[in-house]
Chains A and B, each alone.
Chain A
Amino acid sequence: MQIIKHSNIYFAVSGLLVGASALAVAVFGLALGIDFTGGSLLEITVDERIQADIASIQGILTRADEQGAKLLDSVQAQKTGEAGFLLRFRNVSEEDHQAIIGRLNTEFASQLPENERSKEAGSEGAPAGVSGIQATDFEGNPINIEVGTADGGVIESPVITIGGESLVVEDRFESIGPTIGNELKQKSIYAMIAVIVSIILYIAWAFRKVSDPVSSWKYGITAIFALVHDVAIPVGVFAVLGAVAGVEVDILFVTALLTILGYSVNDTIVVFDRTRENLSRDHWKHEFEWIVNKSVNETIRRSVYTALTTFVVLLAVYLFGGESIKHFVLALMIGVVAGTYSSIFLASPLLVAWEKRGRR
């Protein structure tokens, strides 16, 4: 297979993809998640008897009370599965967090017919109009509910449970303060720099004995080129996903990128290793281009098979694994594909192109 011969096509493809990614980032930017900006993320499952949708949840939480104060100014909501919702809003205190859950429960309870509401609360015989009515859970323990009414009127049944079960089940809640977010952002940048620097050093070391006809640091630089390519593409894809589907970039995304860095270099090194081996044997017989082409061909099966096995495992996690790591795995999958492509069609052709220029 003549891979090096068609270098220009591959360069064009890669250039196009990286360019598009850069453009996507420039136009859309990356939607930073609460890990970096601070904020809250609430995952809830709503009882099946309740008619809940994104608009109604947003309405409930952003409605102003009689003083005009709002619980939340804005809520981003997303449906996950049958009755699940993922809500994002600003970083809130624990009191506000409880108020949010409380308000959702109360509002949803009022959707239900009277007889389906919690019997326990009814048995308390709380007189209407009394504030701070105590409801009890299924064991008879009192539950604290503070109910503020929108119009100062009477709440007939401030009930949050049905037969002891909450209407809104809180599956996950994360609230991250802005300082922590900033720290994580900073740490991510440091980690990126540390990984890139140590990988450059590692490649330079690994190829220290190769010098003819291309000096060792050129292998390193080429590998870094491939690396930038492999990271740029998932970043671009996530910029688009952020704009289209509201996908946010979190700390796991950074982890995915760093893992891609490791994987991509790994892949490139295997090809370069073969080039090194073939060079030491055949360099007096053949041109550099021929040797590189041979090396790529000899390792192409390995590159594809390894990528395939890694990819299917990731695919399994993507399809069957937990919701919260889905985007993480997606980033890894994109990176594996990009990394394999670059190690075959980008790194080695670049090396040859560089060698040719040097000779001219």
Chain B
Amino acid sequence: MVGTRQQVWILFALIMVLGFISGSIFVDHLPGTWPAKYWFERFRTHLGLDLQGGSHLVYEADTSEVSFEDAEIAISGVRDVIEARVNALGVSEPVVQTAKVGERLRIIVELAGVFDVNDAIAQIGATPLLEFKTEAAAPEPVPVSAEERAKREQSNASQFKKAQDSIQKIIGAEGQNFAELATELSEDPGSAQAGGDLGFMRRELLVKEFGDVLYGELAGEGETTLEPIETEFGYHIIQRLESRTVTDDTGFEVEEVRARHILFRTQSLEGDVPDYQPWVQTELGGKQLNRSEVQFDSYSGAAQIGLQFDDEGARLFEELTDANVGKRIGIFLDNNLISAPVVQNRIPGGEAVITGNFTIPEARELVERLNAGALPVPINLVSQQTVGPTLGTASVAKSMAAGLVGFALVALLMLGIYRVAGLVAVVALVWYAAIVFSFFKLIPVTLTLAGIAGFLLSIGMAVDANVLIFERLREELRLGNAFGHAVVVAFDRAWNSIRDSNMSTLITCLILAWFGSSVVKGFAITLGIGVLVSMFSAIIITRVFIEFAGRSRWLSKQKWLWGA
């Protein structure tokens, strides 16, 4: 495999490149002039709950009051509800998933970082609240006085001036950075911090004037409006960033454009609409809804949502529809509007359908949410694992200390036993660590305490492949073989043992990973990756380095330096 001088050089170069790439991924903060710095820094280490602090909560659904099939539908809705609640907590990257273990339905919630666990638990466990509300009439705008109007006109004019000035700053000679300016000046709290970035947007979701400009005169990437664009919100400076075509739920292709903007708010001259609650509470709620299901219209075949109320619900719903023909009824789950169908006519009998251009997945999602509020499927916390952030931070520090000490001890042992070969092994081990950690970041593998233990254990095992090779090398050298020949034989012979012996560890890792529980999985995955990479590093990296060292005639003659 490694034969001619040329091949060794090529392999050496490849290993250097690999070292550069994995090293760059491995290091969290690179110096400013590093090539492709930002690309490399994109990859982050994912710390498990035991290292950054957080909660792992397992809820089990009480399915005693409904059929299992119904419970399965409702639980997906409950999951959505919990996800919304968890997102509202501001936890980063929460995990909310359902799991089915035999006849048991579970919801697993993982919350990382610092937050009030007790509050989270209280919120998550609450039964979703389904409410039907009616539209409130908007109050008349209160006209503004002439004096006030003049003041507002003046302020609006000054906002317009500001917008114009800003445009000059951007397109003028100064060429000021749009994003920086947006962060500094924009009065849109939702986007200012992100440099005015609004993300990808569809035209129909935008205010008309904004959409017309973004999808009209701004054609090229990075193009900025030359005049402030006025909408009901104020004056915008818009910069088009990029566009993409996506397929929407109904299978149509639509264009989405990503843009930034800087907003200068204006005040209305027409008069202010006083604050009011757009929806009015009614007595109708999830308690009176028996169930909901996806139905299909017998003529058009379109998906629609069927609702079945109990007797009380039927009466309330009839009253509600009677009083609100032509208006919307808002269906709220946990205070979030999930649907607002328009009442066509009075609906007696307690059965209703919501029609609309639903795709089947949309209809199913809505049904799940309705059922989450309708079906009595309470969830109970059956398992909790919470780690305080202090303990997590301490664990990270401890693991790093343990890793460094372990690495140093192994290096000392290898140097002591195999001298030059040991040095090669230590260098290969540095490569090994960088490659393994790059994998952890790339895949990404969530690191837990047990996972780090698995990685460290794999260092011990990675050295094993080297030990096998060096022992063979030593034997061959002692038999009086020339260095080059000894190297070839040593690697050939050792390979069988390396392969066979690592195989058993890999089998164990596979089974452990399948075995499930997240702690165990973390350990198995890190150990498994470690063992796989160790085979590569022992066979390729160590070998190339040894052949390189062996090129020195003097080195290759000093057999004692190779442990022999």
Q: Residues on A close to B: CB < 8 A?
A: 43, 45, 93-94, 97-98, 169-177, 179-180, 183-184, 187-188, 190-191, 194-195, 198-199, 202, 206, 251-252, 254-255, 258-259, 261-263, 265-267, 269-270, 273-274, 277, 298-299, 301-302, 305-306, 308-317, 319-322, 324-325, 328-329, 332
Contact = CB atoms under 8 A, between A and B. Distances in A.
A69 B381 CA distance: 23
A255 B467 contact: no
B109 interface: no
B280 interface: no
Interface string B360-401: 000000000000000000000111111110110011001101
B4 interface: no
Secondary structure of the B side of the interface? helix
B417 interface: yes
B167 to A, nearest CB: 42
Interface residues of B, number: 73
23 contacts: A43-B391, A93-B381, A171-B391, A172-B386, A176-B382, A177-B382, A179-B104, A187-B515, A198-B511, A252-B519, A254-B520, A258-B512, A259-B523, A262-B507, A270-B500, A273-B500, A306-B461, A306-B464, A310-B463, A313-B460, A315-B406, A321-B452, A324-B449
Given A191-B515, A321-B453, A306 B504 contact: no
Given A198-B511, A269-B497, A313-B409, A263 B381 contact: no
Interface of B: 50, 58, 60, 101, 104, 118, 121-122, 125, 381-388, 390-391, 394-395, 398-399, 401-403, 405-407, 409-410, 413-414, 417, 449-450, 452-453, 456-457, 459-461, 463-464, 467-468, 471, 475, 493, 496-497, 500-509, 511-512, 514-517, 519-520, 523-524, 527
B451 to A, nearest CB: 10
Contacts of B460: 306, 309-314
A266 B388 contact: no
A179 B414 contact: no
Given A317-B402, A328-B450, A94 B413 contact: no
Contacts of B519: 251-252, 255
Contacts of A259: 457, 505, 508, 512, 523, 527
A83 B463 CA distance: 39
Given A98-B118, A316-B405, A263 B505 contact: yes
B94 to A, nearest CB: 18
B446 to A, nearest CB: 16
A265 B414 CA distance: 23
Contacts of B382: 176-177, 179-180
Given A270-B497, A324-B50, A329-B453, A262 B406 contact: no
A327 B87 CA distance: 36
A121 to B, nearest CB: 19
Contacts of A187: 515-517
Contacts of B515: 187-188, 190-191
Nearest to B471: A302
Contact of B388 (A169, A183, A299, A308): A169
Nearest to A144: B118
A269 B402 contact: no
A316 B390 contact: no
Given A43-B391, A306-B464, A94 B121 contact: yes
Given A173-B386, A258-B508, A259-B527, A320 B405 contact: yes
Given A252-B450, A258-B511, A322-B399, A173 B456 contact: no
Contact of A176 (B383, B410, B413, B501): B383
Contact of B402 (A176, A251, A263, A319): A319
Contact of A171 (B383, B388, B461, B523): B388
Contact of A202 (B101, B468, B507): B507
Contacts of B399: 317, 321-322
A33 to B, nearest CB: 12
A94 B118 contact: yes
A128 to B, nearest CB: 27
B272 to A, nearest CB: 33
B503 A202 contact: yes
A359 to B, nearest CB: 28
A180 B101 CA distance: 10
Given A180-B383, A270-B501, 9 more contacts: A174-B385, A179-B104, A255-B450, A274-B497, A310-B463, A312-B406, A313-B459, A321-B452, A325-B450
Contacts of B118: 94, 98
A192 to B, nearest CB: 9
A360 B387 CA distance: 62
A328 B453 CA distance: 9
Nearest to B468: A302
B457 A332 contact: yes
Contact of B410 (A190, A261, A313): A313
Contacts of A317: 399, 402, 406, 453, 456
Contacts of B60: 177, 179
B335 to A, nearest CB: 22
B507 A273 contact: no
Max chain A Cβ within 10 angstroms of own Cβ: one of B381, B402, B523: B402
Contacts of A274: 497
B520 A252 contact: yes
A292 B388 CA distance: 54
A309 B383 contact: no
A202 B558 CA distance: 41
Contacts of B505: 259, 262-263, 266
A316 B391 contact: no
B63 to A, nearest CB: 13
A102 to B, nearest CB: 11
A16 to B, nearest CB: 27
A308 B460 CA distance: 8
A309 B497 contact: no
Contacts of A175: 381, 383-385
* 3 shortest interchain CB distances as A-B pairs: A310-B460, A262-B508, A316-B406
Max chain B Cβ within 10 angstroms of own Cβ: one of A93, A312, A314, A315: A312
A94 B384 contact: yes
Nearest to A84: B391
A183 B249 CA distance: 39
B417 A305 contact: yes
B402 A321 contact: yes
Given A309-B467, A310-B460, A328-B453, A171 B507 contact: no
Nearest to B521: A255
A171 B50 CA distance: 10
A265 B391 contact: no
Contacts of B409: 312-313, 315-316
